[in-house]
Structure 1
Amino acid sequence: MSRSAAWDHPRTSLYTDHYELTMLQAALHSGAAHRRSVFEAFARRLPDGRRYGVVAGTGRLLEGIVNFRFSDEELAFLKDNAVVNAETLDYLADYRFSGDVWGYAEGEVYFPYSPILIVESTFAEACILETYLLSVLNHDSAIASAASRMTSAAHGRPCIEMGSRRTQEESATSAARAAVIGGFASTSNLEAGRRYGLKTVGTAAHSFTLLHDSERDAFEAQIASMGPGTTLLVDTYDVENAVRTAVELAGDKLGAVRLDSGDLVAQAQSVRELLDDLGNINTRIVVTSDLDEYAIAALQSAPVDAYGVGTSLVTGSGAPTASMVYKLVSRTNDDGEYVSVAKAAKNKISKGGRKYALRRLDDHGKAMQEIVGIGHRPQDDGNDRALLQQFMKNGELIPGWTGHEGVVRAGKRHDDSMAELPSVINRLQRGEPAIPTVFEED
């Protein structure tokens, strides 16, 4: 069985808001529900001071759209609670998304007003996807964006996602997936490993040491069970004594030691010196303990080999949502012709019409501008990279965007996109977006 087929995807139809179904009911009554429509997901701004965002959740979202069905039990709930009328229940009983979905490839960086996802279908089909679509994209993109900042600050040292105990169980699994897309090397979450083929890691917590009569007994048991290449947690009692005991028991084959408290910079330096003095020059040092991108950057001068990150990662490091919205930008009139539509807003930019998106590059392949156009895509001048990819056609998934394959592809896209951006993205200080968004029209 393939990894992408290993998980029996749950139905997603009631991961929605009440008003989407009542809006559908009124549109069915008016006859407008079947007008062809174009919806667009985008963020008007990046989280305060951030210089870029990272798209994540697309693969999960596409799997969810395929499974967006209303079961008899769900229809009975809607009926018993008088959410919608009989006509709407009949429509929902046969609901199948049959439209097209375009968007930024998962792992791609985005900027204000980037058309991250475009849904083309009837109003009825596209409208009721709003809450589910935004909940996935907003959560996963926030995590991937935080992960990207952390891996950038790590400068090639591997980061381990270990935040499952700091968030809801399903959020933990999707956060692990998003973290890997943002550059993390592995996760502690086994369900994420099962669903998406992610590398999972882990050894022991302080409770394992406390369970035994002595730290030596605990280390002996772990080494006997897992081999000398394991990672031993050395700060339950006295760090120096623990390191000496670990080396005595495992010899120079000891894989790593983990530090989880205290002054990590000073401790890493002293532990490195001790390990080297004892002949364990290849034993790695892993640090954990409420790390974020700023703490990782502060540890750059320390002899640290890997970082374990939990709470800050799964909460978006201060930006738990990407603040994306989902707006109707075009729909057909009574003659079947598309017309642009947009809310009249005094303090927001609202652009109607189906969009195209390009990343304008300089002669050295570095990004200069995010081009968002309305109308037909202009001819490529050789320095523009098209950003929109098609994910679904006539309701059918286009292969390659979901499952384990989709995660690998998204990670590669993230790496390539980051390499394309100007070096300002590596600064953790608050600032403007790394490149400006420029609107073009026919």
Structure 2
Amino acid sequence: MRSSPTTSAGLLTDRYELTMLSAWVADGTAEHPAVFEAFARRLPVGRRYGLVGGTGRLIELVADFRFDADEVAWLEAEGVVDGRTAAYLRDFRFTGDVDGFREGEVYFPHSPILTVTGTLGECVVLETLVLSVLNHDTAVASAAARMVTAAQGRPLVEMGSRRTHEQAAVAAARAAYVAGFASTSNLAAGRQYGVPTVGTAAHAFTLAYPTEAAAFRSQVAAQGVGTTLLVDTYDIAEGIRTAVEVAGPGLGAVRIDSGDLADEARRARAQLDSLGATATRILVTSDLDEHLIAELAEAPVDGYGVGTRVVTGSGHPTANLVYKLVAVGDEPGGPLRPVTKRSPDKLSVGGRKATRRRYDAGLLVEETFAIDETTEDTVEVALMRAGAVVHSPTLDDVRAHAVASLASLPPEAHRLDDGPAHVVATGVSVP
């Protein structure tokens, strides 16, 4: 059976969210006040920090979170919800508040990245969407940030669209750009979010012509001498010679996608210089991650294209974020009481958190939480109020915030070898 081409945000959820909701609608608990928080109990093994991604996408989805009439009818027919819950969903709109870390902010174990306040019913149905968006985009942004560090100012192109789901590819391109990548190969990300797009030709282009020279002539004729020619379809040295012969010494760049990239880049630089193409840049691709990029730091490489390892979070396809109830009221409009999950290795601290950070000479040295306390010196900002988005920075603003946030980490936090989280809040203070 073909899936519907247009599924509302409301169905981007797990069934048990709605079975819980049905029970709460039946007994009235759905209208009790509640607070949920999204956080990571721990970072992926060896990571010293994470970078928040996806917040801008998420709050727009929450604002549009609906169940259309056909979807509600299907849920009722499938026995997922009863008649009372179906009526609840037909009129559903999120009317609560959302606070959280800015997108592009660094985070650590237990950092309350997102806080959702509303009724128990409206908060619980957002769980799957919150975690789907934040886990994916944060994993990509966190991996991409490490690659940016490894690149030491050299530009990176996100080119992982062919290694993930078609919609995940667009989100990944956005998240990588937030973390500091210069551009993407994904056109949808360019149109939807304004991420700069780049791209020239693949090996299939060269193979489509009887000779490499013929392929290069066609590409240069179409794109100009400033294009990037892919020189490793047959023999790299011969490809470089042919590329300069066709385009001249003003050739924009050559791309190498195979072999020992450090050695090949050194040989390519020497050959290009000997042919007079001293300004021609060398770009490398081929299953790069932050560790391989770091190994190329001393090679004459001018830029990197990263695909699989960035869209899959560089071996960590999830950020391990969870979404937990931390406070609830016992009657509609009633006071909140903190609730704590005490499962072994899955502890959650009850009560709404406010996050404060201490800096020394501009570098982050400590993170602490306070329960049920909000002041203007906390990390959290208002994202939504009464169901409406109130925080709408441009993507370039988010990207600039990521630069500043990453710059607040000391050098040891940027190390790529395995190590503990830079800071961990070991407890909470109660005012």
Q: Please say whether Structure 1 and Structure 2 have the same fold, judged by a TM-score greater than 0.5.
A: yes
Whether contact under 8 Å (1:9, 1:63) holds in the other structure is no
Secondary structure (helix, strand or coil) at the match of 2:9 reads coil
Give the secondary-structure state (helix, strand or coil) at the position aligned to 1:322: coil
Q: Is 1:431 aligned with 2:429?
A: no
Secondary structure of 2:118's counterpart equals: strand
The offset of 1:344, in angstroms, is 2.5
Q: CA deviation at 1:160?
A: 0.5
Q: What SS does the corresponding residue of 2:305 show, helix, strand or coil?
A: strand
Letter in 1 for 2:389: L
261-270 vs 366-375, greater mean Cα deviation: 366-375
CA contact (8 A) 2:110 2:424 kept: no
Q: Secondary structure at 1:252's aligned position in 2? A: coil
Return the offset for 1:20: 0.6
Give the distance between the partners of 1:146 and 1:313, measured in 2 at CA. 6
Q: 1:353 is matched by which residue type in structure 2?
A: G
1:10 shift after superposition: 6.0
- CA deviation digits over 1:195-222, x for unaligned, max 9? 1011011000011001001000000000
Cross-structure match for 2:404 = 416
C-alpha RMSD of matched pairs (Å)? 1.5
**Structure 2: where are the runs of 5+ without partners?**
none
What is the DSSP-based 3-state SS (H/G/I as helix, E as strand, rest coil) of the residue aligned with 1:275?
A: helix
The answer as to whether partners of 1:153 and 1:426 remain within 8 angstroms in 2 is no
**Equivalent residue for 2:382?**
390
**Hey, what does 2:113 align to over in structure 1?**
116
- Equivalent residues of 2:97, 2:385 under 8 A apart: yes
Shift of 1:386: 2.5
The range that moved more, 195-204 or 329-338, is: 329-338
Partner Cα distance (1:123, 1:173) in 2: 32
Q: CA 1:436–1:347 in structure 2 vs 1: closer, same or farther (change >3 Å)?
A: closer
| 1:29-428 equivalence runs, <5 A | 29-334=26-331, 336-362=334-360, 364-377=361-374, 386-401=378-393, 405=394, 407-428=395-416
Query: Partner letter of residue 389 of structure 1?
Result: V
For 1:136 and 1:9, locate their aligned partners in 2 and report how far apart those are by CA, in whole Å.
Answer: 18
> 1:184, 1:339 → 2: CA distance?
43
Q: Is the 8 A contact 2:48 2:414 kept in 1?
A: no
> Comparing 129-138 with 342-351, which one deviates more in the overlay?
342-351
Quick one: percent identity of the two aligned structures?
A: 52
Moved over 4 A (4+): none
Contact 1:9 1:67 in 2 (8 A): no
* Structure 1 residue 375 displacement after superposition: 2.3
User: In structure 2, what residue type is equivalent to 1:412?
Assistant: A
2:41 touches 2:110 (CA, 8 Å); kept in 1? Answer: yes
Cα offset for 1:118?
0.3
- State how far apart, in whole Å, the 1-side matches of 2:155 and 2:7 are: 33
User: How many Å apart are 1:399 and its aligned residue?
Assistant: 4.5
Q: Deviations over 1:53-99 (max 9, x none)?
A: 01001111111111111111211210211111000000000000111
Q: Is the 8 A contact 1:10 1:67 kept in 2?
A: no
Measured after TM superposition, the shift of residue 49 of structure 1 is 0.9
- Normalised to the residue count of structure 1, the TM-score between the two structures is 0.94
- Farther-moved stretch of structure 1 (367-376 vs 142-151): 367-376
TM-score, with structure 2 as normaliser = 0.96
Map Cα deviations across residues 382-426 of structure 1 (whole Å, 9 max, x no partner). xxx63101111111111424xxx1x22221111101111111122
* Secondary structure, aligned partner of 1:61: helix
Q: Which moved more, 1:143-152 or 1:72-81?
A: 72-81
- What is the aligned length? 425
- SS of structure 1 residue aligned to 2:248: helix
Structure 2 counterpart of 1:409, one-letter code: D
Matched, 1:441 2:430: yes
CA contact (8 A) 2:35 2:326 kept: yes
Kept in 2, the 8 Å contact 1:235–1:259? The answer is yes
Q: Distance in 2 between matches of 1:98 and 1:197?
A: 30
